Amino acid sequence: IKKQQQDVLGFLEANKIEFEEKDIAANEENRKWMRENVPEDSRPASGNPLPPRLFNDSRYLGDYNAFFEARENNAVYAFLGLTAPPGSKVGETL
């Protein structure tokens, strides 16, 4: 989990994409918010959804696997619901 979180954070920071990190380990409100906002069809069969989970405001985008697939397909900005910066390689494939 930690490696996946670092991977997402590293990508966002390297591409200067603004984000807010919510710690669900130390904050019960954040944990409750995540559980309530992950759609039923994206939850594990048993237990609670595990991080990292990505949202744009309160709109659920997906888990690490969805992020990784978008990154591999040069579609991260579309996945995040953002407009790619002009001239970015990522923007060319959208």
Report all structural domains of the chain as residue ranges with CATH numbers, in order of start: 1-93 (3.40.30.10)
CA-wise closest residue to 30 among 12, 53, 11, 7: 53
What's the CA gap between 5 and 93, in Å, rounded?
25
The β-bridge partners of 60 are: 55
Name residue, tokens 């944990």.
Answer: 31
Nearest 5 degrees, angle CA 84-CA 85-CA 91? 45
Q: What are phi and psi of 60, to 5 degrees?
A: -70, 130
In tens digits, the chain (94 residues) has pLDDT values of 999 999 999 999 999 999 999 999 999 999 999 999 999 999 998 988 999 999 999 999 999 999 999 999 999 999 999 998 887 765 444 3
Phi, psi of 74 (to 5 degrees): 50, 40
Q: Return d(Cα 33, Cα 8) in angstroms, integer.
A: 20
